[in-house]
């Protein structure tokens, strides 16, 4: 029997002598069931002896319909979790565009130049406050009588400092936690880790062109136009001096 059931003789001897502590934990009932099937013993006729065995009672056979329903529910939950994780981790289109290292519209000269901003077509909304509470849900209109909409999103932690007339706010940007606020008048934005931050002012993406770990200071006028100095022109090359005596 030990050879037929692929068991050690000591296991069968322990079952025969009711010495269950020498058997593997939790294996008492499975081993007894194997031996009963080998001896063609109906355990239902020996219910009292079966219930006296140590270990948990055998569970009912699983219902195929119940198992299928559970698999469907688990699949839906898994898909929802993956979608939520992708929404939290994967940056949106504006964030991807803001990470591109571009800086268009550079012109010659030493005078500051205003970078144009698209005009907003959303209607104005009345208010009696100069500034709304930071963190509240703001309308999508780029411009209202509360001020310009400034939106900052980060792919990694980045300290941000915004200074304006009557406003001096600092915040540590986190992934998937955008900072939206309204600003009136001219203002300055300081990004300590600019390469991971996407910035929009009055509905327009500001491409600061900085890399990860670099600091960027952006100054804007009351219309939301980015004021940045031009790169000075390089002087034209001069011809090398020629020694008249050497030429002779």
Q: Using the predicted structure, report yes or no on whether residue 84 has a pLDDT greater than 50.
A: yes
CA 91, 93, 95, 98 torsion: positive or negative? positive
Q: Output the average pLDDT for the chain.
A: 76
Least confident stretch, 27-31, 32-36, 163-167 = 27-31
Residue holding tokens 């964030």? Answer: 95
What is the predicted pLDDT for the residue at 248?
A: 55
Q: Using the predicted structure, report yes or no on whether residue 130 has a pLDDT greater than 70.
A: no
Nearest-10 crossing angle of helices 9-16, 28-38: 90
Confidence class for position 162, pLDDT limits 50, 70, 90: very high
What is the predicted pLDDT for the residue at 58?
A: 46
CA–CA distance, 92 with 89 (Å, rounded to integer): 9
Chain segment 73-83, per-residue pLDDT in tens: 999 999 888 88
- Give CA separation, 42 vs 1, 19, 32, 58, 235, in Å: 18, 22, 11, 15, 104
CA–CA distance, 228 with 125 (Å, rounded to integer): 30
Q: Using the predicted structure, report yes or no on whether residue 184 has a pLDDT greater than 70.
A: yes
What is the predicted pLDDT for the residue at 237?
A: 64
Q: Using the predicted structure, report yes or no on whether residue 59 has a pLDDT greater than 60.
A: no
Q: What is the pTM of this model?
A: 0.39
Chain segment 7-33, per-residue pLDDT in tens: 888 888 988 888 888 777 777 888 888
Residue holding tokens 């999508």? Answer: 140
Least confident stretch, 68-77, 221-230, 231-240 = 231-240
Cβ–Cβ under 8 Å, residues 226 and 220: yes
Least confident stretch, 96-105, 121-130, 148-157, 207-216 = 121-130
Q: Using the predicted structure, report yes or no on whether residue 127 has a pLDDT greater than 50.
A: no
Q: Using the predicted structure, report yes or no on whether residue 171 has a pLDDT greater than 50.
A: yes
Confidence class for position 52, pLDDT limits 50, 70, 90: confident
**Could you tell me the two tokens for 50?**
């079966």
What is the predicted pLDDT for the residue at 123?
A: 42
Q: Using the predicted structure, report yes or no on whether residue 96 has a pLDDT greater than 60.
A: no
Instruction: Give residue limits of the domains in the chain.
Output: 2-51, 102-228
More confident residue, 239 or 217: 217
Cβ–Cβ under 8 Å, residues 199 and 181: no
Neighbouring C-alpha atoms within 13 Å toward the C-beta of 145? 7
More confident residue, 10 or 127: 10
């Amino acid at each position: 029997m030990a050879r037929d059931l692929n068991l050690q003789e000591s296991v069968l001897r322990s079952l025969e002598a009711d010495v269950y502590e020498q058997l593997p934990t939790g294996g008492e009932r499975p081993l007894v069931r194997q031996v009963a099937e080998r001896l063609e013993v109906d355990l239902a006729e020996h219910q009292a002896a079966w219930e006296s065995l140590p270990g948990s009672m055998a569970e009912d056979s699983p219902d195929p319909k119940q198992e299928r329903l559970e698999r469907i529910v688990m699949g839906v939950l898994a898909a929802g979790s993956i979608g939520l994780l992708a929404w939290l981790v994967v940056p949106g289109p504006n964030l991807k565009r803001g990470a591109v290292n571009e800086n268009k519209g550079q012109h010659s000269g030493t005078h500051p130049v205003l970078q144009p901003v698209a005009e907003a077509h959303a209607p104005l909304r009345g208010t009696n406050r100069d500034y709304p509470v930071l963190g509240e849900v703001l309308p999508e209109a780029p411009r209202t009588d509360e001020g310009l909409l400034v939106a900052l999103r980060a792919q990694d932690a980045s300290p941000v400092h915004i200074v304006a007339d009557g406003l001096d706010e600092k915040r540590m940007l986190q992934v998937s936690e955008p900072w939206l606020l309204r600003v009136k008048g001219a203002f300055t934005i300081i990004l300590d880790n600019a390469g991971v931050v996407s910035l929009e002012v009055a509905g327009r993406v500001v491409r600061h062109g900085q890399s990860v770990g670099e600091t960027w200071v952006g100054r804007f006028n009351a219309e939301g136009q980015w004021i940045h100095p031009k790169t000075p022109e390089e002087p034209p090359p001069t011809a090398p001096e020629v020694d008249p005596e050497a030429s002779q």
